[in-house]
Amino acid sequence: MPVYQWKGIDRQGKPTRGSRDAENGRALRLQLKRDGVMVTELVESKMARSQGSREIRLDRFFKRVSQSDVGFMTRQLATLLEAGIPLVEALQALMDQAEQEEFKEILTDIRDKVNEGSPLADALRSHKKAFSPLYINMVTAGEASGNLEAVLKRLSDFMENQAKLKGKVSGALAYPLFMIVLMSGIVGLLMVVVVPQVTSVFEDFGQALPWYTQLLIATSSFLGSFWWLVLLLIGATYYGWRRWVGTTAGRMKWDTMMLTVPMLGSLFMMVAVARFARTLSTLLASGVPVLQAMDITRNVLGNAELMRVVEDARNSLREGESIATPLRRSGVFPPIVTHMIAIGERSGQLEEMLEHVAAAYDLQVETKLTAVTGLLEPLAIVIMGGLTGGIAFSIVMPLMQINQFAG
C-alpha cells in the first residue's frame, strides 16, 4: 500500500501536513475529508523523491532513522508480540505512532511485505541502512526458533547498552575537544587581530625586539597574509589522511597505532572488548550459528587490527579449534578475557561468560573515562593558558622596555 505526503487546511483554517498510507489518492482524500481536512496537495512519497523536491530532500537529510528510534521500536514490537498481537497488527500499530516520515515509510513497507507472506527478516533486509546485519540475523534466528519475542527483547537490551556505552565515551571526550576548539579560536584571534595592532606600536619606536616577539610578529604576519594557505594545508592533510586510512594497509597501521596511544589506547581496547563480548553473547544466545556470529561481531568492532584477530579466530574455529586459543595466541586481547572465554567454552556457558566480560569491561570503561577526562581537562587548560600567556608575555615585555626607554 503506497504512502502519500499531503498538505491541507483543517477545520480551524490552519495549514496542516502529514503522511498516511492508502489504496489510492482518492481514498486518502475521502479519509482526510472525514477527519475535517481539505487537501491542497497530495503526492505519493516515492514520486516525491523522484521529483526532487528540495523540501523533502532536506527533510531526509536532517531526519535520518536513528538507532535509538530502531531500539525503541524493537522494544515495543517485542511487548506487542508478547501480548499475543499478530505481527502485522503490531507493525501497523508501530507505523501509526511513528512520527518520523522516513521511519513511517520503512515500517509501512515492512508491514506490507509481511502481510504478503514474507518473513520479517526478509522484509528488514530491504532496509539495510536502518537495520544492521546483526539485527537482521538475530531476527532470522528468532523466527527460525519460534522465539521472536525473546530475541527482540534481547536485541533491544543490546542496543540500549551499546547506546549507553557510546554516550559515555562521547560525553567524556566532548569537554576536552571543546577546550581544544576554544583554545584554537582564541589563539587565532590574538594572532590575527591583536598582535598586528600592537606591532605598529613597536615599529613607531624602532627599538630592537626580543627574539620571541619577533617570532610572534612573523607568525602573526604569515597567518594574516596566508590564512587561506593554512586552511588549504589542513584540508589537504585531512584528505590525504582519509585516503591513506581508506587503504587496507593504512587502516591497519592507523588502528594498530590507536591501540598504543597513551591513556586513550587502553580505553579504545576496553570499549572494543566490551562490544565484542556483548555482541557475541547476544548473537549466540539468540541462536545465531557461531561462525556467522563471529563474522558479524568482527564487523562491529571498528578496529582493523582487532577485526583481523577475530577473523583469524573464526578461521581457526572452522578448523576445529576453540575461540579462546587463537585470541590468546594473538597477544592482543587481554589474558583475563581469553581465560574467561576458555572457561565458558569448557563449561558450555559461553554466552553467560561473555556477558560477564562485557559487564566487567563496561565498568572499566567508566572508570577509565573518569581518569582520562580528569587528566585531559587540566591539560587542555594548561596548554591554553600557556599559549595565551606566551603571547601576552611576548607583547608586554617589549612594551615595558619601551616605557623604561621613554622614561
Residues 266 and 230 in one domain: yes
Residues 96 and 183 in one domain: no
CATH of residue 230? 1.20.81.30
Q: Residue 206 has what pLDDT?
A: 63
DSSP string over 269-315 = HHHHHHHHHHHHHHHHHTT--HHHHHHHHHHTS--HHHHHHHHHHHH
How many domains, the chain?
3
- Domain hosting residue 55, numbered range: 3-62
Residue 238 lies in a domain: yes
Residue 147 lies in a domain: no
Name the burial class of residue 94, with classes exposed (0-12), middle (13-18) and buried (19+) by CB atoms within 10 angstroms of its CB.
Answer: buried
Q: Residue 109 has what pLDDT?
A: 86
Q: Residue 405 has what pLDDT?
A: 60
Residues 325 and 238 in one domain: yes
Q: Residue 370 has what pLDDT?
A: 81
Residue 262 lies in a domain: yes
Name the burial class of residue 144, with classes exposed (0-12), middle (13-18) and buried (19+) by CB atoms within 10 angstroms of its CB.
Answer: middle
Question: In angstroms, rounded to a whole number, what is the distance separating the alpha carbons of residues 107 and 297?
Answer: 26
Q: Residue 62 has what pLDDT?
A: 40
Q: Residue 353 has what pLDDT?
A: 92
Q: Residue 141 has what pLDDT?
A: 83
CB atoms within 10 A of CB 328: 19
Residue 337 contacts residue 139 (beta carbons within 8 Å): no
DSSP string over 158-211 = HHHHHHHHHHHHHHHHHHHHHHHHHHHHHHHHIIIIIHHHHHHHHHHHT----H
Residue 401 lies in a domain: yes
CA 122 to chain centre: 26
Residue 148 lies in a domain: no
Extract the residue ranges of the chain whose pLDDT is less than 50: 46-62
DSSP assigned state of 65: P
Residues 14 and 110 in one domain: no
Name the burial class of residue 118, with classes exposed (0-12), middle (13-18) and buried (19+) by CB atoms within 10 angstroms of its CB.
Answer: middle
Residues 172 and 295 in one domain: yes
Residue 7 contacts residue 39 (beta carbons within 8 Å): yes
Measured in degrees and rounded to the nearest 5, phi and psi for residue 84 equal 90, 10
Residues 317 and 189 in one domain: yes
Q: Residue 274 has what pLDDT?
A: 87
Residues 258 and 287 in one domain: yes
Residues 240 and 273 in one domain: yes
Residue 283 lies in a domain: yes
Residues 40 and 54 in one domain: yes
Q: Residue 403 has what pLDDT?
A: 67
